[in-house]
Chain A
Amino acid sequence: MSETPELETAPIPRRNTELVLLILALAVAVGANYLVSLSNTDGFDEGFITQGAVLAGMALVMHIVLRIWAKYADPIILPCVVALNGIGIAMIHRLDLANNDDAATRQLLWTGLAMAAAIATLWLVRDHRILRKAPYTFLVISALLLLLPLVPGLGKVINGARIWIFIGPLSFQPGELAKITLALFFAGYLSTHRDLILLAGRKIGPLQLPRARDLGPMIVAWLLSIGVLVMQSDLGSSILFFGLFMVMIYVATGRISWIIIGLVMVVVAGFFAAQFMSHVALRLNSWLHAFDPSVYDQQYGGSRQIVQGLFGLSNGGLFGTGLGNGRPDFVPLANSDMIIAALGEELGLIGLVAIILLFVILISRGIRAALGSRDAFGKLLAAGLSFTIGLQCFVLMGGVTLLIPLTGLTTPFMSAGGSSLLSNWIIVALLLLVSHNSRRPALTGPLNERDMAAAGPDISAKAKAREEEDARRRAKKAQAKVATPPRKGDTA
């Protein structure tokens, strides 16, 4: 068929743009690591060569994979993530030199593993729409992942939170993966039920309340995640899951009332948590009275970490001390939770803002993929995952800057920690897939019923209109039989 008015020009893959940006990103990341090696007091440290080579190699493999399986994917996403990941490794390496540790090598291994997982995701999934088929499977997987640390013998309490599992020498935070599976469930469920949620149900005042059975599975999912997290004492992830839940419902329904209900629930839950949960009360206290010496010196839940982070940031000032010249090793957990403070100290306000802008660009590209996606599932998934990255950044950086109480979250792509790297790289793979599907040439034939239902209302409405017109034309031409051309393959 010839009528495709919204796509006059052919889409450009833009993989070469990605390659140029990727080289730029690698130059920044490896350059930073080179400076770290130069500043080593015990002579030039050659660790950066292997680290740079592995990072560059994996990034190029990923680039080639995109050329093959997702050539219309957004060209800016991958370079942003590689830059962030590489700068993270450089800073972890720098802290290794101060602390005589080898976290950078572990981080490098995890980076390789995470990028391999991302490539595997690209290869296995190809088209993100296959993920919408079984939302309840993802709900079950989410539940299993969240419950794993509670299994005796497998889970272990670290820093007051029971969110880790240990298999032999390996440790892992399954909750990190649960944010992906939960997003997949929310996106799948909401994309098929949004009409029912929107239209069915009673109206009380300005609020349109959905039927309980339409929202039931959502509430169950939400209660499960929040309930398990409260039992595991992981405040940061609770906030993250709740934010994900709220944003996806809002995107699906477009009703601000959901946000208001959600925020009221946050306030109520926060009040009760502060009253009845000692670790929440401690966090709150060390936020409100961070500079009180007695709070500072408190053995458990003291403000030492935050305050030392603030001193680090102020020590860096506008321009930073330069890599290797500050004392970020003063800050407890400098290479994981507090890596933002370490970066701010050595790269200054200017450097740190540049890094955070990389996150803003990454998230904006994710949102762009959501806007361009042709199906509701893709929109919900990309928006939800992008928002997760943004919210995680905010909860963590807000905690470091004393804007909100500090919770134990990692900085995506930068903090030392395998689980976080793995899940965030899989998120990147999913965003790349959604962007590939939204940017690749549109299908030119009429869609069949199944695709229309799945592709969401925007497209199905247009398609419906088009089909109705066709039907009218067909009726006019009476006997003419229109052959339906086979649907083009998903992989171009």
Chain B
Amino acid sequence: MNTAIRHVWIAIVCLFVLIFGALSYIQFFAVKDLNANPLNTRQLYKNFDLARGALLVDGTPIAESVASDDQFDYQRVYHDPKLYAHLTGFYSLTYGANHLEGVMNDELNGQSDSQFYNRMVNLLTGQSTEGASVELTIDPALQKTAYNLIPDGQQGTIIVSEPKTGKILAMVSKPSYDTNLLAVHSGKIASKNMADILETNGLSPNINPAINNLISPGSTFKILDLVAGLESGKYDLDSVYDNPTSITLPGTSTKVNNFDQGICANQNRAKLEFIVAQSCNTPFVAMSEAVGQDALRDVTERFGFGQQLEIPQRVTPSQFPSDLTPDQLGLSSIGQFDVKTTPLQMNMVAMGIANDGVIMKPNLIKRVTAPDLSVLEEPKPEEFSTATTKKVANQVTELMRGPLKGGTAYTADIPGLDIAAKTGTAQLGDGTKRVNSWITGFAPADDPEVAVTIVIEKTDYETGHNLTSPNLKKMLEAVFNK
């Protein structure tokens, strides 16, 4: 009997050894995997009990954690949430963190590499880790002006940046939403609010339209045609080029016309000055044919198409399609077909032309400050790319003055301010008459302080036209009369 009892004991010990094995696996070897499991909300909950750093604009918090008396120690609160929703993103128990709340999460939580020393000190002194605050480059007055320039119910984006530094001074999109609605701790309320938010057309809390929305750039793309044309040596400012009212795309019977309400028809042959000012289409189809798609694609890539970029939010790369047939190239040259850009991409085009061909990396972060006010990070202006030569950039600047002087953007003109800009109107191609209305430019043209891009999406031609050039004027007035 005792032999059997000893065997029973051995069996029990074996069972416990199995348990020890399983526990060692779970609590030692698989810890990383389990902690990273998407179903695991513990890290998030842990963070909700931390003093998370604030997001600041001009020293004033737009997102901060305030003491809370519910099951968590802190509640994230957003000030002027609609103004900043697409920048801050949200910090939600239910939906996680996104946009700056997401990409700057380590800094805000005090877990970034630059806070390593502070963490070690806290570990030894037993203090709880506090997050760093992140100050944005945004100018709150400009941000507010830009927000008010887009009427409620209208889908649109306005970006104001500094061509010489890459700093983003304003980045606004409508429709917007109240980020506080998603920051509530109750999952039930948060998901109801999320459902309400998603009912608004053209609004998704996961998308910042300024950097994630890929849309047809229309005639603003002609700036890139000009760069390619002037670089090729086949075009210059003094020569006169064919400007037919209509051109048949090679290999097809599709006709591309100059804009029927414009005055392009007044000159059958014209200088680039006239062509750009009136945004005639047909000479650009010919120009793209003359320089070839490879040269044009090369120019787009130098300006940022297809490139990875973080500001530090991740920017969706803009697209210039490959392997174009001649007729597709013709359509692409006027910013149609499958050419898709983000609003920020067209702002970068203006920045590059403004800054003598050098694009400074767009950036939203001014500095990261530790709780003890020591500066942890302060991004210096950084070159993104040399997009073209100074000479070509200056020639294009000269041509972009045209639209303001009696051209397509004459309503943006401000006496005494030297402005360079290019308008655009892109057909949505969805069978409706709706268009995306664009303007991208900079001022003062010879010593640029700001580059401004305005897009009004999915609207009729008239509304879009009235919300781009006149708003560029108002935006620039706000910048220079402040």
Contacts and interface: CB of A to CB of B under 8 A. Distances in A.
Chain A binding surface SS class? helix
A311 B45 CA distance: 13
A364 B9 contact: yes
B10 to A, nearest CB: 10
B45 A327 contact: yes
Given A310-B34, A327-B42, A393-B16, A401 B8 contact: no
A376 B1 contact: yes
Contacts of B40: 311
B28 A349 contact: yes
Contact of B12 (A316, A387, A402): A387
A251 B37 contact: no
A254 interface: yes
A288 to B, nearest CB: 16
A379 B6 CA distance: 11
Contacts of A364: 9
B39 A293 contact: yes
B127 interface: no
Nearest to A318: B28
A426 to B, nearest CB: 20
A314 B4 contact: no
Contacts of B15: 390-391, 393-394, 398
A292 to B, nearest CB: 10
A383 B19 CA distance: 21
A253 B6 CA distance: 14
Contact of B23 (A313, A379, A393): A313
A107 B18 CA distance: 30
Given A293-B39, A315-B35, A371 B26 contact: no
Nearest to B73: A41
A276 to B, nearest CB: 28
Nearest to B7: A250
B23 A251 contact: no
Contacts of B26: 310, 313-314, 344, 401-402
Contacts of A330: 41-42, 45
Contacts of A254: 1, 3-4
Given A360-B16, A371-B2, A390-B15, A250 B27 contact: no
A458 interface: yes
Contacts of A403: 18-19, 22
Nearest to B15: A394
A317 B31 contact: yes
A414 interface: no
B23 A367 contact: no
A293 B8 CA distance: 40
B121 to A, nearest CB: 19
Interface in A376-394: 376, 379, 383, 386-387, 390-391, 393-394
Interface string A274-293: 00000000000000000101
Interface in A398-428: 398, 401-403
B27 A251 contact: no
Most chain A CB within 10 A, of B5, B6, B8, B45, is at B5
Contacts of B42: 311-312, 315, 327, 330
A352 B23 CA distance: 9
Interface string A247-286: 1001111100000000000000000000000000000000
A75 interface: no
Contact of B1 (A310, A367, A393, A458): A458
Contact of B20 (A310, A356, A457): A356
A348 B27 CA distance: 8
Contacts of A363: 9, 12
Contacts of A49: none
A457 B2 CA distance: 12
B30 interface: yes
A229 B19 CA distance: 26
Nearest to A256: B7
B122 interface: no
Contacts of B4: 250-254
A291 B30 CA distance: 14
B13 interface: yes
B19 A356 contact: yes
A391 B5 CA distance: 15
B24 interface: yes
B27 A318 contact: yes
Contacts of B37: 291, 307, 311
Contacts of B41: 330
B8 A387 contact: yes
A397 interface: yes
A258 B206 CA distance: 63
B27 A317 contact: yes
B22 A401 contact: yes
B449 to A, nearest CB: 51
A370 interface: yes
A261 to B, nearest CB: 16
A353 interface: yes
A307 B28 contact: no
B28 A356 contact: no
A394 B4 CA distance: 20
A296 interface: yes
Contacts of A293: 38-39
Contacts of B5: 251, 367, 370-371, 379, 383
Contacts of A310: 26, 34
A296 B41 CA distance: 13
B23 A401 contact: yes
B176 to A, nearest CB: 31
A363 B11 CA distance: 12
Interface in A329-368: 330, 344, 348-349, 352-353, 356, 359-360, 363-364, 367
Contact of B24 (A349, A359, A390, A457): A349
B23 A314 contact: no
A19 B156 CA distance: 80
9 contacts: A247-B8, A314-B27, A316-B27, A352-B27, A353-B23, A383-B8, A391-B12, A391-B15, A394-B18
Nearest 10 pairs of A and B residues by beta carbon: A314-B34, A401-B22, A390-B12, A349-B27, A394-B15, A367-B9, A254-B4, A314-B31, A251-B4, A311-B40
Given A296-B39, A458-B2, 18 more contacts: A247-B8, A250-B4, A251-B5, A252-B4, A307-B37, A314-B35, A315-B35, A317-B27, A344-B23, A349-B23, A356-B20, A383-B8, A387-B12, A394-B12, A394-B16, A394-B19, A398-B18, A456-B1
